[in-house]
């Protein structure tokens, strides 16, 4: 049954609470990047992807590949909520001997590919999409890339192939938060004019507020945007979104909140939830 926009919004808040809790407990994580892409993951797993714990081995399943592997806590939280593994497993993040390490691996149910080194997910996704075309499968491939990682040349190699092979079963989502570990993307090594660059590489590009779950669901529900072309969703996001003191502050790239910061973050999220429940 289709989940409502209101329920999606509630989930976004719950996921933010959960990932902060997971990071706080583990003492490690990529906090602000998780907060940046969590709404995209929420919409993908609760509205878009044709995949579940029961169908994960099915060759016809939709594929989600997270190229920005460091935002793994966001992925773990969503997969746990979707029942791929028990919620209690989240307590094992980064523990000795735990499979729940700081980047995605196929040791975890629901994860397609090991990532962590940047600039790898898109080429892999192109391969999966090519196989789908070859076998006339109806599955779709979604790849989430960070904006900072677009400096990796391998993304542009993969983009050439995606356009050349007219992979309209491939959707790339760029988490465009304008930040990377050092600071602003435009100061580190400018990406703009990004949309035009992506269009020039053959993508049909649509921009969307990457925190508006209803808007995201609407846009992602329309892929492919054009037959014979790969789709690209430029999700305009805020790194650290939802916790005001983390937003657009570079140190939260892999900052772990202390007790006081954690309490303040949870307080803000609880307030957001009360307001959502009051006003819908």
Partner 1 sequence: MAEGFGNMSAPMDQGDNSDSAAPPRANLEVFADTLLELAAGDRNVIAVTSDSRGSGKLSDFARRLPSQLIEVGIAEQNLVGVSAGLASAGKKVFAVSPGCFLSARALEQIKNDVAYSNHPVKLIAISAGVSYGALGSTHHSLHDIAALRAINNIDIVVPADNFETRHAIVEAYRHERPIYIRFGKKTMPHLHRCGQSFSIGRAITVREGTDASFIATGETVWPALQAAELLTGEGLSCRVVSMHTIKPLDSRAVEESARQTRAVVTVEEHSVNGGLGEACAGVLMQAGIAVPMRIVGIPDEHIVSGSQGEIFAHYGISPPGLADIVRKLLSKG
Asked if 59 touches partner 1 (CB under 8 A), the answer is yes
Q: Which two tokens stand for residue 46?
A: 């609760």
Question: Cβ 56 to partner 1, closest distance in Å?
Answer: 13
**Count of positions (residues) in the chain:** 280
Closest separation in Å from C-beta 114 to partner 1:
4
Cis peptide before 194 (omega within 30 of 0): no
Nearer to partner 1, 12 or 67 (CB): 67
Residues 58 and 50 sit within 8 Å (Cβ to Cβ): no
Is 113 near partner 1 (CB under 8 A)?
A: yes
Q: Phi and psi for 18 in degrees, rounded to 5?
A: -65, -45
- Asked if residue 129 lies in contact with residue 171, where contact means CB atoms within 8 angstroms, the answer is no
Supply 199's token pair: 């269009």
Nearer to partner 1, 173 or 217 (CB): 173
Q: List the beta bridge partners of residue 175.
A: 146, 235
Q: Is 237 helix (H, G, I), strand (E, B) or coil?
A: coil
Work out whether 130 is an interface residue with partner 1 (CB under 8 A).
yes
**Shortest distance (Å) from residue 99 CB to partner 1:** 14
- Kindly state whether residue 239 participates in binding partner 1, applying the rule CB under 8 A: no
CB of 140 to partner 1, least distance (A): 13
Of 6-14, 19-27, 119-127, 251-259, which part binds partner 1 (CB under 8 A)?
119-127
253 by DSSP, 3-state: which? helix
Q: Which one of 58, 87, 135, 138 is in contact with partner 1 (CB under 8 A)?
A: 135
Q: Is 241 exposed, middle or buried (0-12, 13-18, 19+ CB in 10 A)?
A: buried
End-to-end CA distance of the chain: 20
Q: Applying CB under 8 A, which part among 34-42, 70-78, 91-99, 125-133 lies near partner 1? A: 125-133
Per-residue string for binding with partner 1, 147-186, x by CB under 8 A? Answer: ------xx--xx-xx--xx---------------------
Residue closer to partner 1 (CB basis): 158 or 269: 158
How far apart are alpha carbons 71 and 29 in whole angstroms? Answer: 8
Q: Does 99 bind partner 1 (CB under 8 A)?
A: no
Q: Does 70 bind partner 1 (CB under 8 A)?
A: no
How far apart are the C-alpha atoms of 209 and 151, rounded to whole Å?
22
* Residue ranges that bind partner 1, judged by CB under 8 A: 59, 105-106, 112-117, 119-120, 122-132, 134-135, 153-154, 157-158, 160-161, 164-165
């Amino acid at each position: 049954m289709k989940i409502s926009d209101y329920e999606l919004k509630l989930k976004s808040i719950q996921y933010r609470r959960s990932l902060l809790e997971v990071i706080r407990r583990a003492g490690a994580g990529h906090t602000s990047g998780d907060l940046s892409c969590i709404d995209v993951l929420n919409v993908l797993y609760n509205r878009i992807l044709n995949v579940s714990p029961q169908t994960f081995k099915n060759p016809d399943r939709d594929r989600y590949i997270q190229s920005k592997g460091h935002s793994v806590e966001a992925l773990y939280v969503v997969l746990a909520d979707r029942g791929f593994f028990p919620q209690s497993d989240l307590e094992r993040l980064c523990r000795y001997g735990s499979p729940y390490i700081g980047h995605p691996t196929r040791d975890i149910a629901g994860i397609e590919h090991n990532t962590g080194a940047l600039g790898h997910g898109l080429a892999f996704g192109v391969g999966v999409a090519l196989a789908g075309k070859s076998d006339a499968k109806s599955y779709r491939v979604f790849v989430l890339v960070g904006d900072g990682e677009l400096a990796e040349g391998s993304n542009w190699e993969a983009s050439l192939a995606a356009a050349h092979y007219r992979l309209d079963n491939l959707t790339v989502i760029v988490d465009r938060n304008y930040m990377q570990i050092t600071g602003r993307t435009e100061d580190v090594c400018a990406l703009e004019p990004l949309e035009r660059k992506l269009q020039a590489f053959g993508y049909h590009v649509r921009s969307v507020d990457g925190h508006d779950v209803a808007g995201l669901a609407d846009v992602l529900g329309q892929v492919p945007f054009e037959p014979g072309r790969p789709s690209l969703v430029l999700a305009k996001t805020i790194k650290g979104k939802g916790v005001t003191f983390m937003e657009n502050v570079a140190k939260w790239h892999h900052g772990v909140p202390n007790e006081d910061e954690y309490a303040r973050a949870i307080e803000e999220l609880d307030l957001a939830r009360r307001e959502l429940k009051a006003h819908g």
